[in-house]
Amino acid sequence: MTQLALFDLDHTLLPFDSDYEWGQFLVRQGVVDPIDYAQKNDQFYADYKLGKLDIDAFLRFALKPLSEHPRAKLQQWHDAFMAEVIIGKLHPAAIALVKRHQDAGDLCCVVTATNSFVTRPIVNAFGISHLVATEPATVNNEASQMFTGAVHGIPSFREGKIQRVHDWLASLGQSMEQMEKSYFYSDSPNDLPLLEVVSHPIATNPDPRLRAEAEKRQWPILELFA
């Protein structure tokens, strides 16, 4: 039987939040207002860590810059973002964790609330083929496909991660129930819904609230960046 290995991305495989860092990168590039955007980016990030993020308001904020620029320019910025922010921070312990599951033949997937434009190249850098992320809506114009600033489908956040994982598995002709074991690695209490669904929840670099919950439930705690 197949085993399933699901990984959160931000503060789990990465030692920071890629969504937040992408926003800060846009500020440094002069793409967005350096004061207003940075302040809102900080506030949404604080709300997320406190477990009170308004996901719809955040996604309107985060996806708006994608809708305001051609895909070619966005890709140019993202290439620079990968080189400047991401590549040097791919931690050997995180890479080794993924490789252990891949070498065991497990079906591996990153499941993240961060949108797929930001995360797909990062997930590729980890050598993972499958990604369940929040999907930005697109529209075709005469020149190319453009982002609209809206969300396509269910955001991959909290309980939405469960539905999105089920839908992804169904697209492969599989289900959670068919898995011999299912692992989910996450740092955040926002991921408790999915952590409660898998057979092997693993609190990974957990924040204080998830650490306390993991200790109470006797879940394993993994420190990749210690």
pLDDT digits (tens, 9 = 90+) for 49-101: 999 999 999 999 999 999 999 999 999 999 999 999 999 999 999 999 999 99
- For the chain, the average pLDDT equals 96
Residue 140 has pLDDT above 90, yes or no: no
- Tens digits of per-residue pLDDT, 147-201? 999 999 999 999 999 999 999 999 999 999 999 999 999 999 999 999 999 999 9
**From the candidates 10, 106, 187, 191, which is the catalytic residue?**
10
What is the model's pTM? Answer: 0.96
The number of folded domains in the chain is 1
Q: What's the rounded Cα separation, in Å, for the pair 124 and 64?
A: 24
Active site residue 8: yes
User: Is 144 a residue whose pLDDT tops 80?
Assistant: no
The SS3 assignment for 203 reads strand
pLDDT of 219 above 70:
yes
Say which of 8, 19, 106, 187 is annotated catalytic: 8
CATH code where residue 67 lies: 3.40.50.1000
- Alpha-carbon distance values, 135 to 46, 127, 156, 160, 201 (Å): 23, 20, 8, 12, 25
- Write out the residue range of the structural domain in which residue 114 sits: 4-222
